[in-house]
Amino acid sequence: MSDRSLIAPVIDSFARHADRPAVTDANGRVATYAELDLLSRRFGARFLDAGVKIGDRIGFSRPKSIETVAALIGALRIGASFVPVDHAAPEHRNEHIFEDCRVALRCGEDLMPAEQAGAMEDCPSDPDRLAYILYTSGSTGLPKGVPLTHRNAASFVDWCVRTLEPRVGDVFSSHASFHFDLSVLDLWVPLWTGGSVAIIPTDVAQDPRRLPNFIVERGITNWYSVPSILALMVEFGRLEDLAFDRLRTICFAGEVFPLPMLRRLREQLPEVRLLNLYGPTETNVCTWYEVPGRIDANRTEPMPIGTACDHCDVALFDDAGQRVDEVGQVARVLARGAPVMNGYWGRPPEETPCLLTIDGQRWYDTGDLGEWDQVRGGERQIVFRGRRDRMVKRHGYRIELGEVEAGLDRHPDVQESAVWSGDIEGRVVIHAAVVPRDGATLGVIPLKLHCAVALVSWMSPDRFQVMDALPRTSTGKVDYATLRGA
Amino acid sequence: MKTDDIREKVRAFILDEILPGEHPENLLDDMPLRTSGLIDSMGTIRMTSYLESTFGISIAAHETGVENFETVDSICQFVADKMAS
């Protein structure tokens, strides 16, 4: 269809599907393709009036709505790119992001479209032009920008269209926030193919008791979210009481789906395609695995992340840079090809050690570990085997534990802190040890209250302990092994 | 069940599951829990299921908002009303 422009197929849809619904907002208000076309042109005109030029970045800090979707489209139509942030995140974090990528304009909730679309014309497409920047947690405490071009994004959306085979009139859930890479599928796959985007109200999105009804009421055909919300729906959503007549596909990504919960989902929805998608923001989705209709009763470990999508290449390499093709050896997961970013925003190649050149080809090292597994009677699949660094995932969000420590250290009474992760019954739990400054006393409540304003909500530690000093190794580094065992 | 028993069980859940390590005296019964960020949406889900199984009540999806789950006091009142109805 298109593997070069994220926006050109949407403009085609405006003409082909004018009277069909394109976006339904949280309250059930519907915008047709014709209405979305006009609204996005009016936003484009507004951006041009504000002096935004081709190649400029526009920062987006606003809730999900028809207007926000139109504004993102408007940005791409005039050749600009969008930088969405969590409007509920601490202001200093969003401020850093907008300054880091030098946005030409900030599009907050109060920014209105122009009265008229006027002479706004669609900018000629350029596959190497930036489409958006998504910021992810950074190990040094500051978020880092992942810039993705039209080619990067379009190659992924094109793969989705070929794999999910959406039909005109399909309804795609929009569960993830727009600053989270899962939203790329939610928005662009339906808009390319005459389907509609169903925005999920914020309060419903986190409520496993209300979500199943919402899926049925909105007639959602394609669901996409992190596994944790699906697991909560399995546990608390009473799925067996509802008839999911329209639901055809559930995709999940962002973290491991614990097998017992996935098994229950499989049993509750036997007719629905279940796809495990894998890939960090830097690569879009790069491997996938279709969960079989019956999960082997003897299986105990999570489902594989699968094999490379056909728009890219994914392979395992050992620490010496040798490709690992045999079964059973844990190695690094690397990806290359059309969907993979060229580098982090504003960082020179020498500061981007995750981009490697092997035999003349440029690979991205995901930091994940994997292993080839020969599933009985099937083809070989990659199984996820954890991380090499201090990044953890919670609700699909990437959390660099260093960013959590930096947030804790901003508390005036904290001298130093150490953060590590563990799990309780399959749930990721973040532990923090803090050392108070001389004479200060620290309790759990003040620390939690501090984290609620200093950190993005999903990064806040679950467990705190106050210590006189952090344990150190003989080289003076924080001894995380001792903390874990304490 | 007496009001004091409800309060004890609600406080025990919050202190054990949400704020482990905090001294019980520091958890005030009128302290904002949701709007302050002390309890997030996942914590509310777990608490809802704890209240249902502990007190044998049924909590509807729309009842788990700030109006009922903001403070220890409001949670206890909500549970007592549920048990009486």
- Predicted confidence at residue B17, as pLDDT, reads 92
In a domain, A3, yes or no: no
Q: Is A444 on the interface with B (CB under 8 A)?
A: yes
What is the CATH number for B80?
A: 1.10.1200.10
Mean predicted confidence (pLDDT) in B8-17? 96
- Check pLDDT > 60 for residue A82: yes
pLDDT tens-place string over residues A366-419:
999 999 998 766 789 999 998 888 889 988 889 999 999 999 999 999 999 999
Domain of residue A61, residue span? 8-385
Residue A65 has pLDDT above 50, yes or no: yes
A70 belongs to a structural domain: yes
Q: Is residue A360 part of a domain?
A: yes
- What pLDDT sits at residue A364? 97
Residues of B in contact with A396 (CB under 8 A): none
Shared domain for A32 and A124, answered yes or no, is: yes
Q: Rounded to an integer, what distance in angstroms lies between the CA atom of residue A193 and that of residue A168?
A: 6
Q: Are A14 and A34 in contact (CB under 8 A)?
A: yes
Query: Does residue A128 lie within any of the structural domains?
Result: yes
A274 shares a domain with A137: yes
Query: Is the domain of A248 the same as that of A144?
Result: yes
Q: What is the pLDDT of residue A366?
A: 96
Q: What would the mean pLDDT of A435-463 be, rounded to a whole number?
A: 93
Give the CATH number of the domain where residue A37 resides.
3.40.50.12780
**How many domains does one find in chain A?**
2
Answer whether A371's CB lies under 8 Å from A331's CB. Answer: yes
| Residue A101: inside a domain | yes
If asked whether residues A351 and A459 sit together in one domain, one would say no
Position of tokens 């995140």? Answer: A89
**Largest CA-CA distance found in chain A, in angstroms, rounded:** 70
Pairing of strands A273-278, A287-290: antiparallel
Residues A338 and A412 in one domain: no
Whether residues A207 and A131 fall in one domain: yes
Domain boundary among A321, A355, A385: A385
Distance between CA atoms of residues B30 and A50, nearest Å: 48
pLDDT at A142: 87
The whole-number average pLDDT for the span A425-436 is: 90
- Other Cβ atoms closer than 10 A to A269: 17
Q: Helices then strands (H, E): number in chain A?
A: 13, 24
Are A451 and B20 inside 8 Å of each other by CB?
A: no
Both A59 and A178 in one domain: the answer is: yes
248-267 in A: which are within 8 Å (CB) of B? none
Asked if residue A29 is part of any domain, the answer here is yes
Residue A2 lies in a domain: no
Average pLDDT over residues B30-54: 92
| Alpha helices by DSSP H, A101-181 | 150-164
pLDDT digits (tens, 9 = 90+) for A168-194: 999 999 999 999 999 999 999 999 999
- Say yes or no: A293 and A403 in one domain: no
Are both A109 and A123 inside the same structural domain? yes
What is the distance in angstroms between the Cα of A447 and the nearest Cα belonging to chain B?
10
Task: Please tell me the predicted confidence (pLDDT) of residue A3.
Answer: 63
A461 pLDDT more than 90: yes
Of B27, B41, B45, the CB nearest to A236: B45
Reported confidence tier of residue A7, pLDDT bands at 50, 70, 90: very high
Q: How much of chain A, in percent, has pLDDT values that exceed 90?
A: 83
Query: Span B41-68, mean pLDDT?
Result: 91
Which residue among A444, A452, A466 sits closest to B37, beta carbon to beta carbon?
A452
- Tell me if chain B has a CB within 8 Å of the CB of A443: yes
Confidence band of A1 (pLDDT split at 50, 70, 90): very low
ipTM: 0.91
Looking at the structure, do residues A329 and A471 belong to the same domain, yes or no?
Answer: no
Q: What is the pLDDT of residues A306-359, one digit of tens each?
A: 999 999 999 999 999 999 999 999 999 999 999 999 999 999 988 899 999 999
A452 touches chain B (CB under 8 A): yes
Cβ <8 Å between A463 and B27: no
Last residue of one domain, picked from the residues A332, A358, A385:
A385
pLDDT band at A2 (very low <50, low <70, confident <90, very high): low
Structural domain of residue B42, as residue ranges? 3-84
Q: Mean pLDDT of all residues in chain A?
A: 94
Decide if A1 is inside a domain: no
- The pTM score is 0.89
Q: Which residues pair with A136 in a beta bridge?
A: A144
- For residue A473, the domain's CATH number is 3.30.300.30
**A257 pLDDT more than 90:** yes
Domains: count for chain B: 1
Strands of the A249-252 sheet, one edge to the other: A30-32, A21-24, A196-199, A171-174, A222-225, A249-252, A273-278, A287-290, A307-308
B85 shares contact with chain A (CB less than 8 Å): no
Can you name the residues that pair with A13 across neighbouring β-strands? none
Residues A400 and A325 in one domain: no
CA distance A437 to A443: 13
Average pLDDT, chain B: 93
Condensed to tens digits (0 to 9), the pLDDT of residues A97-117 reads: 999 999 999 999 999 999 999
Question: Is B61 close to A210, i.e. CB distance below 8 A?
Answer: yes
